[in-house]
């Protein structure tokens, strides 16, 4: 999978635009030869690339080793075990995908889609206004005054990696590489370093929300910024297995899947839930799809167990009076009936650390400053603000559970005009003594045992009815999806 062609990456990222516009989706329901446990997106991909193999993720209650061995013998490529969801990723023919979905012990065969970062290019800006405003807009400064800076808390950034910078000092540990789309461990794209700077940068003029928190880069995307869902799942599995060893309390996911789905069915959602139930706070960017149809149905932001973060514009000023919800920030109700996002944070015109030699440094020069910083917009930045806020909360009270963190964060926020979700207030969140737990009305993924938080090998078959009867009967607006998925390509 290493060195996969850029053309295939672009195709995967634009799958919905190309497939929905060309063929619609009703045909996916009309083909009797497609088993009910085969995701319709697999057929769409196969129709667009006749004769080529299809990237899939398979969940099964059967003998995975036997299935994998048989698949390799039949010509399946890049077969990789995904322990966290009792499944594996592979490249197979469409006919093999159909056969994989037929046995009753197979739960679901889905497309190994791509995720994309949730940032937008910055607007032209005045160099005299480069000093960061967003920590004040998130009300983190009073928390610093009380000595809370995120010290002792590790935030894992599942992204494109984190490049060394004086702003991180020795607090940014080595990168762990999970990417199938890159041959380098460094941050070739720049997105991960930008996000890390918002969370925990500590420069002279540009300071992140938790400037003394530790950072861990879990690299899943390459130079283009794309990541396969299976690689993100691998990274989350690593967090579950090694989070205690590295002191990981927070995971930042400033990315969204390019395929909309119910959280009950999506393998990435199952993976983030297991991390959540193992004591890790998962913060996810809402996406930049505005209030359009299915805008909040992309994993992992569609999952009720994560903290989903939307964006507001602080206008580059410290007073709150002129702050406004960003029109491009995803918002609405998921197909499962959950309002998203749960909180909004500064996300417009955010200046943070630039990865030297990255794609950002070369191709977004008009948004850089001093050769070390870059100004971008998007819910990627907003999620990072909240991840930093959570680090402050956990430094203050290390024993808080993810549900308690989410409850306090949401209930300590203040109103923002035009937003159904409260704006983050870091100082109010760390000062809160509210006793409550979030997610009381949520039901875990079909693969999760609600009592143990573990993936259940003999879980009930994943249902495809919701996807096939609700989501896939509509044709998404291709131009909107393009704007939301390839945000930096102008």
Active site residues: 159, 191, 380
Q: Give the tokens for residue 47.
A: 């129709």
Give the integer Cα–Cα distance in Å for 431 and 72: 55
Neighbouring CB atoms inside 10 A of 34's CB total 21
Q: Are 426 and 209 in contact (CB under 8 A)?
A: yes
Neighbouring CB atoms inside 10 A of 27's CB total 14
Q: Give the tokens for residue 432.
A: 């809160």
Neighbouring CB atoms inside 10 A of 126's CB total 7
Give the integer Cα–Cα distance in Å for 387 and 385: 6
Q: Are 159 and 195 in contact (CB under 8 A)?
A: yes
Give the integer Cα–Cα distance in Å for 341 and 416: 13
Cα distance between the two ends of the chain: 28
CA nearest neighbour of 382 among 454, 301, 464, 451 = 301
Q: Rounded to an integer, what is the distance from CA 466 to the centroid of its chain?
A: 22
**Which position has the token pair 């080595």?**
174
CA nearest neighbour of 358 among 202, 194, 204 = 194
Give the Cα-Cα-Cα angle 393, 394, 398 (nearest 5 degrees): 135
List Cβ neighbours of 32 (8 Å cut-off, separation of 6 or more).
none
Helix axes 229-246, 267-277, angle to 10 degrees: 10
Give the integer Cα–Cα distance in Å for 167 and 47: 48
For 15, how many CA atoms within 13 A lie in the half-sphere containing its CB? 26
Q: Which helix (H) or strand (E) holds 159?
A: strand 154-159
Cα torsion 255, 258, 261, 267: sign? negative
SS3 category, 349:
coil
Give the integer Cα–Cα distance in Å for 68 and 275: 26
List Cβ neighbours of 249 (8 Å cut-off, separation of 6 or more).
153, 154, 155, 243, 279, 280, 281, 390, 391, 394, 398
Q: Are 236 and 275 in contact (CB under 8 A)?
A: yes
Give the integer Cα–Cα distance in Å for 430 and 76: 51
């Amino acid at each position: 999978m290493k060195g996969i062609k850029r053309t295939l990456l672009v195709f995967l990222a634009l799958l919905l635009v190309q497939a929905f516009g060309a063929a619609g989706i009703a045909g996916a329901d009309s083909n009797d030869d497609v088993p009910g446990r085969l995701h319709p997106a697999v057929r769409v991909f196969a129709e667009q690339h006749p004769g080529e193999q299809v990237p899939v993720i398979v969940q099964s209650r059967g003998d995975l080793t036997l299935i994998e061995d048989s698949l390799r013998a039949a010509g399946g490529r890049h077969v990789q075990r995904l322990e966290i969801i009792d499944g594996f990723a592979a490249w197979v023919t469409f006919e093999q995908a159909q056969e994989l979905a037929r046995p009753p012990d197979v739960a679901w065969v889905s497309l190994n889609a791509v995720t994309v970062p949730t940032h937008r290019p910055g607007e032209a800006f005045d160099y005299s206004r480069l000093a960061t405003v967003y920590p004040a807009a998130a009300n983190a400064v009073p928390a610093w005054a009380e000595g809370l800076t995120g010290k002792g808390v590790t935030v894992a950034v599942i992204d494109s990696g984190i490049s060394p910078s004086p702003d991180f000092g020795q607090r940014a540990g080595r990168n762990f590489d999970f990417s199938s789309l890159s041959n380098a461990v460094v941050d070739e794209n720049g997105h991960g370093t930008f996000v890390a700077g918002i969370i925990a940068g500590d420069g002279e003029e540009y300071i992140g929300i938790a400037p003394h928190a530790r950072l861990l880069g879990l690299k899943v995307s390459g130079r283009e910024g794309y990541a396969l869902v299976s690689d993100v799942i691998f990274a989350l599995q690593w967090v579950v297995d090694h989070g205690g060893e590295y002191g990981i309390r927070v995971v930042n996911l400033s990315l969204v899947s390019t395929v909309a789905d119910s959280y009950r069915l999506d393998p990435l959602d199952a993976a983030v839930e297991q991390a959540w139930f193992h004591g890790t706070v998962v913060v996810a960017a809402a996406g930049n799809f505005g209030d359009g149809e299915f805008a909040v149905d992309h994993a992992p932001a569609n999952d009720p167990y994560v903290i989903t973060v939307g964006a507001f514009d602080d206008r580059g000023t410290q007073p709150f009076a002129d702050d406004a919800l960003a029109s491009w920030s995803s918002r609405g109700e998921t197909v499962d009936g959950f309002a998203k996002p749960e909180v909004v944070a500064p996300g417009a015109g955010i200046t943070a650390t630039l990865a030297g030699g990255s794609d950002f440094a070369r191709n977004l020069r008009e948004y850089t400053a001093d050769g070390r910083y870059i100004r971008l917009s998007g819910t990627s930045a907003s999620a990072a603000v909240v991840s930093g806020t959570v680090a402050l909360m956990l430094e203050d009270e290390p024993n808080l559970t993810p549900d308690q963190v989410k409850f306090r964060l949401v209930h300590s926020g203040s109103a923002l005009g035009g937003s159904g979700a409260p704006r983050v207030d870091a100082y109010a969140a760390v000062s809160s003594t509210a006793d409550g737990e979030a997610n009381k009305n949520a039901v875990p993924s079909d693969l999760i045992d609600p009592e143990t938080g573990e993936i259940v090998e003999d879980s009930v078959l994943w249902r495809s009815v919701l996807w096939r009867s609700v989501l896939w009967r509509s044709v998404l607006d291709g131009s909107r999806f393009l704007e939301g998925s390839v945000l930096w390509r102008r």
